[in-house]
Amino acid sequence: MTSLRLLIMGPQGVGKGTQAERLSAHYGIPHISTGDIFRYNLKNGTALGKEAGRYINKGELVPDEVTDRIVEDRLHQDDAASGWILDGYPRDAEQVEALDKMLERMGQRLDAVVTLDAAQDVLLERMKKRAAIEGRADDNPTAIAARLKTYDTQTKPLLKKYQSRGLLVSVNGVGKIEDITATIIEKLDQLCSNN
């Protein structure tokens, strides 16, 4: 496979970050987490970071238009030339459209969308454990429930869009980490050899 451009999607606590890192190592392409890109731009005081910071410092959500530019900027970097795994974007229908236009401008196309799924009680349990280990203040029951609801209402419907394009690879996010990775790779290789 010469290049691979993937989205990894799923509710919080399903193991997207873990699987994205493993796929990144397997395919030799960067795992691009929108949270990491934001932190990088903020920490390094880039023009985009300063723009995003104006909203963040006021406790406001960064507008899609700024998020889109931050993502596009990252996809133009050298390490992403032969592919990438995008984690945490797109989150809504407007961002799907923005990503489509972005890739069109770059002369690229999306190869697949990996979605991991797990029952809500499994996700809640995992996030409770993560909160205990990492001491994350945002992993309290109220915040977790709100994030899962946002995923269900805004992001989950996007999966139908990608399914209709023949790009969706659905995998159960419960089980041994290495077994889940093996299933994703098998399904991805199958999908990409057919496209």
Catalytic residue at 16?
A: yes
Q: Are 148 and 12 in contact (CB under 8 A)?
A: yes
The one-character DSSP state at 62 is P
Reported pTM: 0.90
For residue 69, CA distances in Å to 12, 43, 74, 98 come to: 24, 17, 9, 9
Sorted by where each starts, the structural domains of the chain and their CATH numbers stand as 4-194 (3.40.50.300)
Q: What is the pLDDT of residue 56?
A: 84
Can you tell me the distance from the alpha carbon of 116 to that of 107, in angstroms, rounded to the nearest whole number?
Answer: 28
Catalytic residue at 147?
A: yes
Per-residue pLDDT of the chain in tens (195 residues, 90 and over written 9): 458 999 999 998 899 999 999 999 999 999 999 989 988 999 999 999 999 989 888 888 889 999 999 999 999 999 999 999 999 999 999 999 999 999 999 999 999 999 999 998 888 888 888 878 877 666 677 878 888 888 899 889 999 999 999 999 999 999 999 999 999 999 999 998 877
Q: What is the pLDDT of residue 31?
A: 97
Q: What is the pLDDT of residue 137?
A: 65
Cα-based torsion angle of the residue sequence 79, 171, 87, 194 in order, rounded to the nearest 10 degrees = 40
For residue 41, CA distances in Å to 46, 52, 55, 74 come to: 5, 9, 14, 10
Can you tell me the distance from the alpha carbon of 102 to that of 121, in angstroms, rounded to the nearest whole number?
Answer: 37
Can you tell me the distance from the alpha carbon of 178 to that of 8, in angstroms, rounded to the nearest whole number?
Answer: 16
Catalytic residue at 69?
A: no
Which of 16, 22, 74, 126 is labelled catalytic? 16
Catalytic residue at 22?
A: no
